[in-house]
Amino acid sequence: MATPLDSLGIVHETDVLILGAGASGCGAALSASRHGLRVLLADKGKLESCGSLGGGNDHFMAVLNTDAPGDTTETIVDFYCTPTSGYSPSQVRQWVEAMPQMIEVLKSLGIEFLHNADGSFYRTTGFGQPGSWWTHINNGKYIKRRLAGLIRSQGVDVLEYVQCTKILVQDGKAIGAAGFHVLDGTFHIIRAKIVISALGRLNGRVSVNSSLNPFNSAFSPFITGSQIALPYEAGAQIITLDTEQEATLLPKGWGCPGMNGITSSGAKGINALGQRYMGKYHPMMEIGPRYLLIQGTHRELTEGNGPPFVLDVAPMLVLFAIVMTFCILGCFLPSMPLLLICVPIFVPIAKVFGWDLIWFGVIITVLDNMASITPPFGISLFVMKEVAGVTLGAMYRSAVPFVIALFVCLLLIVLFPPLATYLPTLMNG
**pLDDT tens column, 318-331:** 888 888 888 888 88
Please report the pLDDT score of residue 161 as a whole number: 93
Give the dihedral sign, CA 247/252/256/260.
Answer: positive
Looking at residue 252, its pLDDT comes to 37
Confidence band for 428, pLDDT divided at 50, 70 and 90: low
Nearest to 216 by CA among 225, 205, 231, 227: 205
- Whats the size of the chain, residue-wise? 429
> Which amino acid is it at 303?
E
Q: Is the pLDDT of residue 346 over 70?
A: yes
Amino acid 414: pLDDT: 86
Residue 291 pLDDT greater than 50, yes or no:
yes
Q: Is pLDDT above 80 for 341?
A: yes
Mean pLDDT rounded to a whole number for the chain: 82
Q: How many other C-beta atoms lie within 10 A of the C-beta of residue 76?
A: 25
Report the largest interatomic distance among the alpha carbons of the chain, rounded to a whole angstrom.
Answer: 87
Q: Does residue 272 contact residue 233 with C-beta atoms inside 8 Å?
A: no
Q: By the 8 A CB rule, do 167 and 174 touch? A: yes
| pLDDT for the residue numbered 75 | 96
Q: How wide is the angle at C-alpha 11 spanned by C-alphas 6 and 13, nearest 5°?
A: 135
Segment 187-214 mean pLDDT: 71
Nearest to residue 377, comparing CAs of 347, 320, 333, 416? 333
pLDDT digits (tens, 9 = 90+) for 301-314: 788 887 666 666 67
Please give the pLDDT value at position 162.
95
Number of Cβ within 10 Å of residue 68's Cβ equals 15
Q: Is the pLDDT of residue 425 over 90?
A: no
H/E segment holding residue 12: strand 10-19
**pLDDT on residue 303:** 85
Counting residues of the chain whose pLDDT is more than 70, the rounded percentage is: 83
On the CB side of 304, how many CA atoms lie within 13 Å of its CA?
Answer: 0
Q: How far apart are CA 263 and CA 55, in angstroms?
A: 24
**What is the per-residue pLDDT across 359-394, written as a single tens digit (0 to 9) for each?**
999 999 998 888 888 888 777 787 877 888 888 788
Higher per-residue pLDDT: 240 or 85: 85
Residue-range domains of the chain with CATH: 8-52+142-252 (3.50.50.60), 59-136 (no CATH), 253-312 (3.90.700.10), 315-427 (no CATH)
**Tens of pLDDT, residues 116-160:** 999 999 998 877 788 899 899 988 888 999 999 999 999 999 999
Give the span between the Cα atoms of 284 and 267, in whole angstroms.
13
Q: Above 70 in pLDDT, residue 217?
A: no
Helices (H), 136-179: 143-153
Rounded mean pLDDT, 17-34 = 93
pLDDT of residue 219: 55
